[in-house]
C-alpha cells in the first residue's frame, strides 16, 4: 500500500462515525455520545470493552473532528512515509489504548460526570512516534530533518499547552504520547524515504 493510505482510511472512519453522530443527533451531547461509545468520565467500563476503541472515533463537535482529522492527516502521513502501514497502525492502536487506559485510571481516581471522546490520544501517539523516528532515521538531509523535528516539537508543546485548557483531556493526550513512544522504537523504518 502507498504511504498515507492507512491515514486516509482512518480519517474516512472518523468522518463516517461523525455521520452517525449527525444522524443520531448526538453532536455536542455527551449523554448521547456515551450511548454511541464514548468513555464514561466516572472511570467505569462495566465490561463494555468496545469503548476502548469506539471513543477514539467519536468527536464532540465539528471543530473537534476537524482539528483531529487535520493533525492526523499531517502526522499520520509523516509516520507512514517512514515506517510500513502495519507498524504505523500498531503505533496508532497502542496510542489509543494507552490513552484510554490513562483516561480511565484518572477518572476512576477522580470521577466526574460526562464523557471523553476523540482521536487526539492516537494523534499524540503518532506525534511522539514521528519525533522518535526522526531521530532514528539518518536517510534525510540534516536540514530537512531539523526543520521537521522543529515543527514536531512545536506541535507537541502547543498540544500539551492546549491540554491544560478546561474540557481537554490531559490524561488522554499523555496516555497517547506514552503509547506512541513505547512502540516507535521497534517500528521498522522504510529504506527509501
Instruction: Express each pLDDT in 80-129 by its tens digit.
Output: 999 999 999 999 999 999 999 999 999 999 998 899 999 999 999 999 99
Please report the pLDDT score of residue 193 as a whole number. 52
Q: How confident is the model at residue 190 (pLDDT cuts 50, 70, 90)?
A: confident
Contact (CB, 8 A) for 14 and 69: yes
The 10s digit of each residue's pLDDT in 49-93 is 999 999 999 999 999 999 999 999 999 999 999 999 999 999 999
- Across the range 175-179, mean pLDDT stands at 98
CA dihedral 177, 178, 182, 187 (to 10 degrees): -20
Q: Is 181 helix (H, G, I), strand (E, B) or coil?
A: helix
Could you tell me the domains of the chain? 5-186 (1.20.1540.10)
Q: Across-strand partners of 83?
A: 189
Cβ atoms of 12 and 76 within 8 Å: the answer is no
Residue in the block written with cell 491540554:
163
In the prediction, which pLDDT does 139 show?
63
Q: Concatenate the DSSP letters of all residues of 113-172 into one string.
A: SSEE--SHHHHHHHHHHHHHHHHH--SS-HHHHHHHHHHHHHHHHHHHHHTTSTTS-HHH
Give the residue-averaged pLDDT of 140-168: 86
Q: What's the pLDDT tens digit per position in 5-30?
A: 999 999 999 999 999 999 999 999 99
Long-range CB contacts (< 8 A, 24+ apart) of 18-27?
18/58, 18/59, 18/62, 18/65, 21/58, 21/59, 27/60, 27/61, 27/62
Amino acid at each position: 500500500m502507498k504511504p498515507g493510505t492507512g491515514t486516509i482510511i482512518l480519517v474516512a472512519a472518523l468522518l463516517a462515525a461523525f455521520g452517525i453522530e449527525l444522524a443520531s443527533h448526538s453532536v455536542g451531547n455527551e449523554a448521547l455520545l456515551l450511548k454511541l461509545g464514548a468513555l464514561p468520565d466516572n472511570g467505569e467500563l462495566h465490561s463494555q470493552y468496545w469503548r476502548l476503541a469506539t471513543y477514539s472515533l467519536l468527536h464532540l463537535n465539528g471543530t473537534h473532528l476537524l482539528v483531529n482529522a487535520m493533525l492526523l492527516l499531517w502526522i499520520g502521513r509523516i509516520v507512514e512515509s517512514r515506517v510500513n502501514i502495519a507498524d504505523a497502525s500498531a503505533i496508532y492502536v497502542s496510542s489509543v489504548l494507552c490513552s484510554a487506559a490513562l483516561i480511565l485510571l484518572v477518572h476512576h481516581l477522580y470521577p466526574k460526570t460526562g464523557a471523553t471522546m476523540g482521536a487526539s490520544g492516537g494523534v499524540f501517539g503518532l506525534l511522539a512516534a514521528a519525533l522518535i523516528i526522526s531521530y532514528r532515521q539518518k536517510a534525510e538531509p540534516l536540514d530537512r530533518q531539523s526543520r521537521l523535528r522543529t515543527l514536531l516539537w512545536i506541535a507537541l508543546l502547543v498540544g500539551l499547552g492546549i491540554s491544560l485548557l478546561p474540557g481537554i483531556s490531559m490524561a488522554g493526550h499523555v496516555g497517547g504520547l506514552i503509547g506512541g513512544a513505547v512502540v516507535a522504537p521497534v517500528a521498522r523504518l522504510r529504506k527509501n524515504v
